[in-house]
Structure 1
Amino acid sequence: MSTVTTQRKDSKGALSGKAGLILTELENRFVSGKYQFGELLSINSLAEEFEASRQPVSTAVSYLRSMGYVNIVPQVGCKVVSPSKQEIADFFYTLGKAESGIAGKAATRWIDNEIEQLQQVESVISGTAFDTLEHRDAYADSVNHYHYKIHDMARSPSISLWLESLWRLADFYLWQGASINFTKGKVQTAHKERRAIIRAIKQCDVSLVESLMEEHVNGKPRRVGVV
């Protein structure tokens, strides 16, 4: 029987020492919606908060810049990115294409009781309340669990790792609207789409899986109101 690893991935280990610890904490803040588009971040304030010198903070921020979370603005400092609606739509269009491809692979490569495992994850998502920010954070983690399990079923680790870095950035984008715009009706729509994807994977219908997954991912920014 196959054991599927679906823990939430992050950039832990990308940097060593204090810079690595700071990077992990800051990235977690981004993907959980703690920072807003266009927000200014002070290197000095972060250094004070983390009880560190400017050097490890600057190293962590430079890595976050390479990941697409912040920009370094001369004479201003570090600023959280503020992508246009078109840029966000383009990002999810591209993510949808990639995610549909790996979902198609999952439809031909799943084994043992992996469909049941995926159904269990979907049940957790469907049963998660969406009334408070804490609930919504748990909901977001469960949704990631769903996609990561499909990645594991596809058995393409290098592609999975790349996609999961994109999902962290996707979470950051989605949280800009999810706290106020993701209504109960839209949540139910997302539940139905995930169930349909599971059925198509179980049927090994690659074409249908790819179509459903692409539509599902493309619809995420619209459902939460960031495009």
Structure 2
Amino acid sequence: MQITNEKMSESQIDRANKKDMAYEILKQRIINNEYKPLDTLTEQSICSELGISKTPVREAFKELEKDGFVKIIPSIGCLVSSIGLDYIHEIFEIREILECAAARIVAERGDKSVFEEMLKNHESFELAEKKNIKGSVVSGFEIHTAIFETIGNSRLLDFYKNIQNHIIRIRLFFIYQFDLDKTERMNAEHKMILKTIIAGNPNAAEKAMREHLRNSQERLKSLL
């Protein structure tokens, strides 16, 4: 591997900034389901809309493909990744590996006051907003993110946030198909995760997280 000390030119910096801008805009649209699964994105249409040249758009497409959001089809453009059984299984397989270990770690040595406060807020939300399905999903995301933030490993947190983008995309895709029964079960599972972490029981925390993730995956698969 060759390492150089060459500085980027102004044009290279400008291109990199435009690539990053295009990447973030397109990624957020995919996550928010503004671009639906299997929608086609073309260089020409994105260039015209964003007012930039083809090179940064092409580089943004490559970055999106690397992160699993699109598939580049030569001479056609990009296809937005589908949301099917394989996609859901892969994301949840990664989640189970990461999040079960993370739950165990924070139960062993995490700041319990963070989770005690979250449990109070979660229970208050359940009472006041029982039928707020979207709010319950957001509350769940906050719990999962807090687990990784509490560990204090910035690289692990960054990796998880990339996976979380896919989780958010999946959740938003199915949000209007979630019923109250599914939401109540999800809330109960989140509460159990919090309680086992607060109790400082790593085995129980890992078990609660694994059961929650597997149940969540089955709930999503049932909606396909």
Residue correspondence of structure 1 range 47-126 to structure 2 within 5 A: 47-82=47-82, 84-111=84-111, 113-120=113-120, 122-123=122-123, 126=126
* Cα distance, 1:46–1:141 mapped onto 2, change above 3 Å: farther
Q: Does the 8 A contact of 1:124 with 1:142 survive in 2?
A: no
In the alignment, the residues of structure 1 paired with residue 120 and residue 69 of structure 2 have an alpha-carbon distance, to the nearest angstrom, of 32
Residue 208 of structure 1 and its aligned partner are, at CA, apart by 0.9
What secondary structure sits across from 2:23 in the alignment?
Answer: helix
Residue 72 of structure 1 and its aligned partner are, at CA, apart by 0.5
Residue 77 of structure 1 and its aligned partner are, at CA, apart by 1.2
Residue correspondence of structure 1 range 33-48 to structure 2 within 5 A: 33-48=33-48
Q: What letter matches 1:167 in structure 2? A: Q
Residue 214 of structure 2 is aligned to residue 218 of structure 1: yes
* Cα distance, 1:120–1:30 mapped onto 2, change above 3 Å: farther
In the alignment, the residues of structure 2 paired with residue 142 and residue 28 of structure 1 have an alpha-carbon distance, to the nearest angstrom, of 20
Q: Does the 8 A contact of 1:122 with 1:195 survive in 2?
A: yes
In the alignment, the residues of structure 2 paired with residue 124 and residue 140 of structure 1 have an alpha-carbon distance, to the nearest angstrom, of 15
Residue 226 of structure 1 and its aligned partner are, at CA, apart by 5.1
Q: TM-score, normalised by structure 1?
A: 0.80
Residue 120 of structure 1 and its aligned partner are, at CA, apart by 4.9
CA radius of gyration, larger in: 2
Q: Does the 8 A contact of 1:46 with 1:57 survive in 2?
A: yes
Residue 128 of structure 2 is aligned to residue 146 of structure 1: no
* Cα distance, 1:217–1:59 mapped onto 2, change above 3 Å: same
Residue 163 of structure 2 is aligned to residue 166 of structure 1: yes
* 65-74 vs 207-216, greater mean Cα deviation: 207-216
Residue 26 of structure 1 and its aligned partner are, at CA, apart by 1.6
Q: Does the 8 A contact of 1:200 with 1:208 survive in 2?
A: yes
Match of 2:7 in 1: none
Q: TM-score, normalised by structure 2?
A: 0.81
In the alignment, the residues of structure 2 paired with residue 125 and residue 33 of structure 1 have an alpha-carbon distance, to the nearest angstrom, of 26
Residue 176 of structure 1 and its aligned partner are, at CA, apart by 2.8
In the alignment, the residues of structure 1 paired with residue 223 and residue 94 of structure 2 have an alpha-carbon distance, to the nearest angstrom, of 16
What secondary structure sits across from 1:113 in the alignment?
Answer: helix
* Cα distance, 1:172–1:209 mapped onto 2, change above 3 Å: same
Q: Does the 8 A contact of 1:32 with 1:175 survive in 2?
A: yes
* Cα distance, 1:113–1:170 mapped onto 2, change above 3 Å: same
Residue 213 of structure 1 and its aligned partner are, at CA, apart by 0.8
Match of 2:21 in 1: 21
Q: Does the 8 A contact of 2:65 with 2:72 survive in 1?
A: yes
Residue 205 of structure 2 is aligned to residue 209 of structure 1: yes
Let me know the Cα RMSD of the aligned residues: 2.5
Q: What letter matches 1:149 in structure 2? A: A
* 187-196 vs 35-44, greater mean Cα deviation: 35-44
Structure with bigger helix share is 2
Aligned length: 208
* 89-98 vs 116-125, greater mean Cα deviation: 116-125
* 189-198 vs 19-28, greater mean Cα deviation: 19-28
Which residue among 154, 157, 169 is the counterpart of 2:154? 157
Q: Which runs of 5+ in 2 are unaligned?
A: 1-14
Q: Does the 8 A contact of 1:115 with 1:202 survive in 2?
A: yes
What secondary structure sits across from 2:184 in the alignment?
Answer: helix
